[in-house]
Structure 1
Amino acid sequence: MDGLILPLLLMLVVALPLILSTRKQKKLMAEQQEMQSSLTAGDRVMTTSGLYATVADASDDTTIDLEIAEGVVTTWLRQAVRERIVPTTDSEMADTDTSEDDEETVTATPASDSTAEDSKDGNGSADAEKAGADAQVASSVEHGKK
């Protein structure tokens, strides 16, 4: 009997961490599936490939429609959604709004000035500047770390 205690104790030491890690992994998978099944239209999400999007339609069981830009909707598998993005608080938004307002005060050159410059140098750089003035820059998205 004494000869069996040491091998049984050794097997217990090896098997216990395996069992505990398997339980933890099952729990995390269940939480992930619960989050994916509870998504509704308007939720901000991040996919496994790092794409930030807004849920446009979540009526199908296996797929989900994500709006990646205004008017651009793509269809993804629900399993591709990694996490739901929690919106920032009002105080954090107030801090970022003041810095964004400073960036937006840049004025564009009138179109009449750019056509005059374009005719002077003839290389089309004024067209590039004019197109750049109309471009919009998206604000950064903060997401919670696990």
Structure 2
Amino acid sequence: MLISPAYAQGIGGAGGADMLTSFLPLILIFVVFYFLLIRPQQKKQKEHKAMLASVRRGDKIVTAGGLIGTVAKVIGDDELSVEIAEGVKVKVARGMVSTVLSKTEPAKGDDKDEKEAKEEAEEPKKD
């Protein structure tokens, strides 16, 4: 007979190395996405959350709707009263503040700032 019989190949013994090389591009794509997309977004979210926590009376803000106004009163943890024109005040959810245009000096009753002022006054000046 001129035709040789064809036999099925057995399962290769190097399956572990083949699995790693086949998943390597997928792992590499995930690492690139993490450093270019996920990590910067988490950092931006953290900065925005800190900015929202530091909003106080007198700050000039821009809301997500585009209104520019001055914080007249901090009503609660998640609500602000914003003066958008003379005598016109609106309530705004704290989460809807997109940016703080200008910060005001802390109030005199703020314990942290009073302690810092006392420490600066007590330190002897070096010439």
Q: TM-score interval w.r.t. the shorter chain?
A: 0.5 to 0.7
Alignment of 1:45-84 (within 5 A): 45-84=61-100
Alignment gaps of 5+ in structure 1: 88-146
The answer to whether residue 7 in structure 2 is matched with residue 7 in structure 1 is no
Residue in 2 aligned with 1:32?
A: 48
Instruction: Output one character per residue of 1:44-67: Cα deviation in whole Å (capped at 9) or x when no partner.
Output: 110111111001112410111100
TM-score under structure 2 normalisation?
0.62
**Match among 93, 96, 101 for residue 85 of structure 1:** 101
Alignment gaps of 5+ in structure 2: 1-15, 104-127
Residue in 1 aligned with 2:112?
A: none
Write the letter of the residue equivalent to 2:21.
L
TM-score under structure 1 normalisation?
0.54
Write the letter of the residue equivalent to 1:16.
V
Write the letter of the residue equivalent to 1:56.
A
Write the letter of the residue equivalent to 2:28.
V
Q: What is the DSSP-based 3-state SS (H/G/I as helix, E as strand, rest coil) of the residue aligned with 2:55?
A: coil
Q: Identity percentage over the alignment?
A: 28
Q: Of Structure 1 and Structure 2, which has the larger fraction of its residues in strand?
A: 2
Alignment of 1:8-23 (within 5 A): 8-20=23-35, 21-23=37-39
Q: Of Structure 1 and Structure 2, which has the larger fraction of its residues in helix?
A: 1
Question: What count of residue pairs does the alignment treat as equivalent?
Answer: 87
Instruction: Output one character per residue of 1:24-43: Cα deviation in whole Å (capped at 9) or x when no partner.
Output: 21211111111011011111
RMSD after superposition:
1.6
Range 2-11 or range 26-35, more displaced:
2-11
User: Hey, what's the Cα distance between the residues in 2 that align with 1:58 and 1:16?
Assistant: 42
Q: Which is greater in Rg?
A: 2
Write the letter of the residue equivalent to 2:101.
I
